[in-house]
Copies of this chain bind each other. A is one copy, B any other.
């Protein structure tokens, strides 16, 4: 696509400095951009890159004007760039349209207006899909699901029966929602399967990354609140509840019945034992293993996870431990010597 600097300025509500007729065909970082690219000055620390950038135009803050290339001054270059990216992306996507003849749709499924079902999709009995929702090829949606409007479901995702998904969600390729929870009872057989008759309920504006899995509840529901974003390869166990606007990075895992609050940040690879309460705004560092409930706003690190500052101190101290053990042996020798000089130890080592 081809867009002029003047058109971009209009799109983002910015002010042109330089030749507004200059056109760009792509976007890139200041260091990587070449001729034809739009770039952006996202933070003061990137200022040194401005001198040498090969970009054809740059989004900059209002107080920046000094450049050999056309500029578009805006309040927040980063958010302006997001707006431009949205514009470019609309041009780059070719979402499925209409109901493909190979889609298998149960006669009791209910499709909203303008729903798109790609090739080889399956929509089972009693499932309802909201207006403008797009279902990519190979997606399976089981019976009695409720999928909201304006939701995007990428290829080969599996949505089992009785799952609810809200509006404007993005479900990525290979996701599995509503799989049985991992629960067994010691019965007649060694591990007797506990049927999971519960559901999965996903709010609005939720994103779920590729190959992530969310188990259905034993009974009741596994819940993901509005606006929560989940990265790739995340595992969410049965009866977990996650609040609104939380961020769960790649490869994290949450065991059964743990409740995660609102605006919680879980960094990559972090794991949670089951039946914990994690307060609003908590932050869990990458690769931490959380074994106890977490207070609102707490920042945890390590395994077992402790307060971030303590955890960092523990790991810094651990670096000195091999040397410290040597120093301690030396101290013991010196004390033996001193004790010898003072007629031996007054107390016997009886440990």
- Asked whether, in the complex, the Cβ of A26 is within 8 Å of the Cβ of B289, the reply is no
- Asked whether, in the complex, the Cβ of B154 is within 8 Å of the Cβ of A155, the reply is no
Interface presence of A44 (CB below 8 A): no
Query: Can you sample 29 A-B contacts with CB below 8 Å?
Result: A27-B197, A28-B220, A29-B219, A89-B196, A94-B124, A120-B122, A138-B156, A140-B156, A154-B158, A154-B179, A158-B174, A174-B211, A179-B210, A179-B232, A184-B229, A190-B245, A191-B229, A191-B245, A210-B213, A211-B212, A211-B233, A249-B255, A253-B268, A269-B289, A314-B318, A317-B324, A324-B328, A333-B347, A338-B342
- With A92-B162, A174-B213 already in contact, the answer to whether A327 and B328 are too (CB < 8 A) is yes
Chain B residues near A86 (CB-CB < 8 A)? 195
Of B93, B160, B207, the contact of A154 (CB 8 Å cutoff): B160
Stretch at the interface among A3-11, A61-69, A302-310: A302-310
- Asked whether, in the complex, the Cβ of B174 is within 8 Å of the Cβ of A174, the reply is yes
- A291's nearest neighbour on chain B, judged by CB, is B286
Chain B residues near A113 (CB-CB < 8 A)? none
- With A195-B89, A322-B316 already in contact, the answer to whether A250 and B334 are too (CB < 8 A) is no
Q: How many copies does the complex hold?
A: 3
In the complex, what's the smallest C-beta–C-beta distance from A199 to chain B, in angstroms?
10
Interface presence of A194 (CB below 8 A): yes
Interface presence of A32 (CB below 8 A): yes
- Asked whether, in the complex, the Cβ of A197 is within 8 Å of the Cβ of B89, the reply is yes
Q: Which of A125, A195, A247 has the most CB of B within 10 A?
A: A195
- Asked whether, in the complex, the Cβ of B161 is within 8 Å of the Cβ of A172, the reply is no
A337 to B92, CA, bound (A): 75
Of B82, B104, B289, B326, the contact of A119 (CB 8 Å cutoff): B104
Interface presence of A295 (CB below 8 A): no
Chain B residues near A220 (CB-CB < 8 A)? 28-29, 32
Q: Which of A187, A211, A247, A332 has the most CB of B within 10 A?
A: A211
Interface presence of A349 (CB below 8 A): yes
| Known pairs A138-B156, A310-B319, A314-B318 / 13 extra A-B pairs, C-beta < 8 Å | A85-B195, A86-B195, A89-B195, A94-B125, A104-B119, A120-B120, A142-B155, A156-B174, A176-B211, A179-B210, A184-B247, A324-B328, A331-B332
Chain B residues near A271 (CB-CB < 8 A)? 251, 268-269, 286-287
Q: Which of A155, A184, A212, A227 has the most CB of B within 10 A?
A: A155
- With A179-B173, A271-B287, A338-B335 already in contact, the answer to whether A194 and B85 are too (CB < 8 A) is yes
Nearest 7 A/B pairs, CB to CB:
A158-B173, A176-B210, A140-B155, A89-B195, A85-B195, A173-B176, A210-B213
A138 to B121, CA, bound (A): 9
- A42's nearest neighbour on chain B, judged by CB, is B185
- Asked whether, in the complex, the Cβ of A289 is within 8 Å of the Cβ of B289, the reply is no
A183 to B263, CA, bound (A): 16
Contact digits for A205-218, partner B, Cβ 8 Å, 1 yes 0 no: 10101111101001
- With A174-B176, A320-B325, A338-B338 already in contact, the answer to whether A194 and B156 are too (CB < 8 A) is no
